[in-house]
Structure 1
């Protein structure tokens, strides 16, 4: 959706106009106008999938008037309160140098942002909904690196050092390429070099073994499995791509008759897995790639086959097999061969199997990691991002600010430490989790302290006085009731609309006649009974009359259509006063106990303060050490610019021209 903003070249901030988005915005504004802001309902499982700026778009759709009221209808105003932009040197898209690029790197005032968002958002997490989804058991499968992988990881470290030092043209190598190669290497060494051997024990081979075991165990029920892999996906051959792209009936007719020249197929993990599964006895027709279903009709047919168990192993990427893939009926296992970049992608993967409609009570999610590569760190990073988003969306975040989650490349320090097998990386990740947990506990402790202080100052005194008033009122009403007892074998009499009636039947009938004149929920006085003033109100929704007996307190009875039965209901309501009195006294005792307990607890320090302080200090120390170690001694960062661009440094090194006379300089200063 189009944004009016003065910001330019901010990464992740699109100002282009999409017709469907503008159309949706116009319809939302129209519905808000004719319904008073109650005409549009959005439903989504991932309101924040990549960046916190997505919240602004949601707010613009659903609470535009509120944003205008707060002076935040324009994105720049919203961003100035909740976001912070940072300019840093990043690789230019054309790969010919570095350029200064501005992006949102931090968000702050998060409690206020979420309070504003929750005015239009009813956030329900899975643990709140208790949906009938299967229990998920997670399995982390760790594969040991091969000797080739170990050597390649060392080479990644050397490449990162060269890129960081500026000694290599960024068109040839850069951090994005290194990160991409690191992810490929963690999956299978043959993606980097197809000539390398297929060694046993790799995570691809372990995945094949697990798939086969689950396939055998689920033969009777035709249980199915999903395999997610975003790297090394199957690609159509170039010649066939060209033929398909040309809208020529003759070409399509001759496609089968004339063989197209096909190059040697490149290695892909997908084909490798299919070949190994078939070799171990799985029928080829029970294995499918989501990429083969390249139309909506084919995709529906494929999904139907998976739901019925005709296809029992489906391989695909997050993009093609994530949102919209409903094949959960027989799913018993999901295999994550690689780690996606975005937390939302991880949630979409898991959502394919942890879903309503799955006939299995327990399902399994396998996550494969190659030790000593980027795998473990990437999983930890993405899961931490997802935890942060989950905390934000459930208002449990212990922080007022956060870094944005939109990152697709590791920093030099991270690559250097990972490739060196630095144990401090794992220590830092563990500390990061511990510090976040302790901060959450401290925030909860502080919240309870503030609540107790407020209760001691306002809530307990007000409630205690209120309950004391209830007790006095009930005791006075009980005295009133005792002063107007029922005669032994007769009716005490009731006054209805000025007439005193001593016959039960007549009194009940007169009361029903008086009720007919009451048309709304506003109580109308109709008489008195045993010293209590009587009034009646009508609930149009429930279609029933309620009688209130007013003394020091109010006592209610719901009226029916039986005249004598109504009098019995009224007497029963009055007879409940002793029980009400005992209940109020018990509530008063409970309030005194809560007040005493709050006085003991208020002011107590956070019990884990020392642990939080020590771990926070160690975390800061590790961050400093890792950043220091990221630079080689005496190595200086340089900025690689385009070769055609004039060198600023060379210009600064040129000798300065001789200074002019003082008088001339003075004249120049005066003119300036």
Structure 2
């Protein structure tokens, strides 16, 4: 990378949290990397440690050199070279020399290069692992933490969502697999991710099916029954209305036992009836209009006077201050019944179609059931195979050797039996040597 980006003076960041530069001649990762870079031809003045900048002024000067390409390799820790390190101008690569303890540390590190102001449209990020070391465990811990954080921040419950963990967690899992050095673990990691996705998809499918079953048992029958009752009531009310026809030239309404043939006078009589109400809980039989009994009452929520007309169903209007307008509202409430009837018939037809479709959908099996079964079987085979690999066999061989060493003359010893049990009596334990310092290593 140092040679490939020489034309633009491309820079690189190297993160290492498990070591610090020292001046006492002892080994440390920083000096070792610097020596190796110098052996490859990198001038020492183009290599810098963040630890050399002791003050904010020195840091600002160092960052300015990195942005200009005078310092092309900057080494540091997440704490010292994370937030606030604005050196992205010429960054071409970032190196994770070790695995940090928190997913946020990865974000802080990579946030130095994945940000606006970088002249490079394409950058590279390297993660380094060593086979048969603790690296696989560290990346596994980081993977589990990122899964939890991703689920918490997204608000998704994995048992009720078809979404898998986020991409960052998957990349940690891949690094963990690579660190193991066994291609079967890489395959198992990939399969584990796929099986998890398929299980979540299946759980989502089952949830949808249970919801449809509930709707078939309760919602659809009740909704269809309500629509049917509404249609029947509207049909009866429309027939009753047609049996009491009126036109503009022949108007009549009965209010408080008196017949009115003028709309304005009738509307004024209704308003007068409102003024005679004594309390809001009162309901007054107002009269009859086109065969529909009229009831006057007060709506305490809207604080408006209402008139309800009822034969099979109730049809309510809100009264206003205009007498003629109130009569027009009564006529509109009756005339709109035909439109309401057509709307309810359409809703009934739609509900019936939805119910029939739900009956079909509820019988559908999970479409990827076969794929889930095959991948789950393969995953189980890999897990069994990996549990029987050389490491486990070696452990069993060591146990056999320990068992053989803990026998006396072909007979098991008490000390060996207690050791395998996890306890060892004071009588069999060797006492500490007197006069010698005892050292505890942590």
What is the TM-score normalised by the length of structure 2?
0.60
1:279/1:600 CA distance change after superposition, 3 Å: closer
Conserved? CA contact 2:244–2:290, under 8 Å: yes
The one of 308, 311, 315 equivalent to 1:551 is 311
Aligned to 2:156: 394
Aligned length: 351
Conserved? CA contact 2:151–2:158, under 8 Å: no
The one of 65, 69, 73 equivalent to 1:279 is 69
Q: How does 1:410-421 map to 2 (within 5 A)?
A: 418-421=178-181
1:582/1:523 CA distance change after superposition, 3 Å: farther
Please list the CA deviations of residues 132-153 of structure 1 after superposition, one character each: whole Å capped at 9, or x if unmatched. Answer: xxxxxxxxxxxxxxxxxxxxxx
What secondary structure, in the 3-state scheme, does the structure 1 residue paired with 2:242 have? helix
Conserved? CA contact 1:189–1:196, under 8 Å: no
What secondary structure, in the 3-state scheme, does the structure 2 residue paired with 1:589 have? helix
Q: Does 1:534 align with 2:295?
A: yes
Q: Does 1:195 align with 2:35?
A: yes
Name which structure has the greater RCO, CA cutoff 8 Å, separation 6+.
1
1:487/1:655 CA distance change after superposition, 3 Å: closer
In structure 2, distance between residues paired with 1:337 and 1:554:
76
Q: How does 1:64-79 map to 2 (within 5 A)?
A: none
Q: Does 1:384 align with 2:147?
A: yes
Aligned to 1:613: 373
1:466/1:275 CA distance change after superposition, 3 Å: same
Conserved? CA contact 1:190–1:197, under 8 Å: no
1:570/1:438 CA distance change after superposition, 3 Å: same
Aligned to 1:370: 127
Q: How far off its partner does 1:610 sit? A: 1.6
Gaps of 5+ in 2: 1-15, 20-27, 41-48, 86-90, 162-168, 400-415, 430-442
Q: How far off its partner does 1:601 sit? A: 2.4
Conserved? CA contact 2:94–2:125, under 8 Å: yes
What secondary structure, in the 3-state scheme, does the structure 2 residue paired with 1:472 have? helix
Give the root-mean-square deviation of aligned CA atoms: 5.6
Q: How does 1:299-310 map to 2 (within 5 A)?
A: none
Please list the CA deviations of residues 32-84 of structure 1 after superposition, one character each: whole Å capped at 9, or x if unmatched. Answer: xxxxxxxxxxxxxxxxxxxxxxxxxxxxxxxxxxxxxxxxxxxxxxxxxxxxx
Aligned to 1:504: 263
What secondary structure, in the 3-state scheme, does the structure 2 residue paired with 1:428 have? helix
Gaps of 5+ in 1: 1-178, 183-187, 201-231, 241-264, 283-288, 293-314, 322-332, 353-358, 400-406, 639-646, 657-672
In structure 2, distance between residues paired with 1:425 and 1:500:
93
In structure 2, distance between residues paired with 1:519 and 1:351:
74
Q: How far off its partner does 1:626 sit? A: 3.9
What secondary structure, in the 3-state scheme, does the structure 2 residue paired with 1:484 have? coil
Please list the CA deviations of residues 531-587 of structure 1 after superposition, one character each: whole Å capped at 9, or x if unmatched. Answer: 2233444354x5544443322122233333222112112211211111111111111
In structure 2, distance between residues paired with 1:365 and 1:544:
68
1:398/1:519 CA distance change after superposition, 3 Å: farther
In structure 2, distance between residues paired with 1:193 and 1:521:
89
The one of 555, 560, 582 equivalent to 2:320 is 560
What secondary structure, in the 3-state scheme, does the structure 2 residue paired with 1:476 have? helix
In structure 2, distance between residues paired with 1:520 and 1:365:
78
In structure 1, distance between residues paired with 2:109 and 2:303:
50
Radius of gyration: which is bigger?
Answer: 2
What secondary structure, in the 3-state scheme, does the structure 2 residue paired with 1:605 have? coil
Q: Does 1:592 align with 2:342?
A: no
What secondary structure, in the 3-state scheme, does the structure 1 residue paired with 2:36 have? coil
1:345/1:190 CA distance change after superposition, 3 Å: closer
The one of 246, 251, 270 equivalent to 1:491 is 251
What is the TM-score normalised by the length of structure 1?
0.41
Q: How does 1:69-218 map to 2 (within 5 A)?
A: 181=18, 190=30, 193-197=33-37
Aligned to 1:26: none
Q: How far off its partner does 1:345 sit? A: 7.3
The one of 455, 467, 479 equivalent to 2:239 is 479
Aligned to 1:524: 283
